[in-house]
Structure 1
């Protein structure tokens, strides 16, 4: 459904220059660092199962529990395949979880975390997630928190049954970023889009940060639609509630 994903592929060779290897990123619990604190807006590395020398960096939408009381994280589905291991970006600690469920159509992925390795939080930087809210309406101001471009806000331009477009700033690596109305989680960043002026599509540049006023609009999925689809799948993440 969504083709212009916001995951960013990182070559492990480039990461190694920062003294990080794939062994460290995806080490098992026996070699693990202390627990990491993660929530909506935290950056994660996701293993690329097709090659040994790259990972994707993405953003968690939220962390919570499912109806099996598993500690789970929600992110964009294009960030990684089922079975891919996950590492925390800010500590570069591996062994914290694995992608257990995903949807290609609705572009969501569920990470099942090792509850001994991850401490859930509702607050990451300026964003706080206390509840799930209804989809935003045209003209409302929403904010997103992504690992690449941080906490940014903008108006909603278009609202549909499954998605909405807004002028929040996002770039590669912000895939999965929570979109918020106050402390309500209302959406998940999945893609960038062209600006539409009637029948004309206008290609705008990617957003580089909060001070970048002219940039392409961002497409987000309505979180209520995402959670309903996760429930329909009935696997990991079903019955999601914020931790």
Structure 2
């Protein structure tokens, strides 16, 4: 082959290689993300618009992967997505609830969800008894994050108690723990006359009303609903 022929051949090869590289550069790479990580304190998107917080995740006595949040976030049939990974789409569906006790049971797709017992350092090691006056309770909400405070006593609504933890819109369903044991979920604010969360570093905010998780589980069990026999992931 002549020198001009070899040069032409190299030019064609380089041109083809450049075109291939350009094609690779603009071709979208398939989404390789794995299952969505969810645990107590994770943010949820209900029916594509309502922001709430996951109380806890684990298995019921039917072997289903289930979790909980507040009933006022949505009712049976509501679709649930993860705030952290909205592009993952629907990862669970609400399958039961009780407006009076303000709980909703979510059945998750185990192929789409990786359940954990620790979100941002907030750990749930299992279930605990209802707190008593003086117990220090802590919560993790998707809006106001982590806070702790003393338990003042029972609330005015059946199955509730009052803790000096802060909360805000979107924290509904947030887990409340004592010594890393789940005791309840955020239901609402105790008073509208004080701010709902911490002012700087001084806890001059209204206490939160917490629904007793034991009361909710008792109702679920009595009605043989999904969630019966619930055991949180990582329960010791």
Task: For residue 224 of structure 1, give the secondary structure of its aligned residue in structure 2.
Answer: helix
* Structure-2 residue corresponding to 1:100: 95
State TM-score, norm by structure 2: 0.80
- 1:228 to 2:218 alignment: yes
Question: Which runs of structure 1 show a deviation greater than 6 angstroms over 4 or more consecutive aligned residues?
Answer: none
* Aligned mates of 2:142, 2:159 — CA distance in 1: 24
* Aligned mates of 2:104, 2:169 — CA distance in 1: 17
* Structure-2 residue corresponding to 1:83: 77
* Structure-2 residue corresponding to 1:35: 35
Is the CA contact 1:32–1:95 (under 8 Å) kept in the aligned structure 2?
no
* Aligned mates of 2:32, 2:198 — CA distance in 1: 34
State the Cα distance separating 1:208 from its structure 2 match: 5.5
Aligned-residue Cα RMSD (Å) equals 1.9
* Aligned mates of 1:130, 1:46 — CA distance in 2: 26
Is the CA contact 2:39–2:57 (under 8 Å) kept in the aligned structure 1?
yes
* Aligned mates of 1:32, 1:75 — CA distance in 2: 29
State TM-score, norm by structure 1: 0.78
* Aligned mates of 2:32, 2:219 — CA distance in 1: 33
* Structure-2 residue corresponding to 1:173: 170
Task: For residue 89 of structure 2, give the secondary structure of its aligned residue in structure 1.
Answer: strand
Q: How many residues align?
A: 200
State the Cα distance separating 1:64 from its structure 2 match: 0.6
- 1:205 to 2:195 alignment: yes
Gaps of 5+ in 1: 1-30, 48-53, 195-201
* Structure-2 residue corresponding to 1:217: 207
Is the CA contact 1:137–1:158 (under 8 Å) kept in the aligned structure 2?
yes
Looking at secondary structure, tell me which structure has more strand per residue.
1
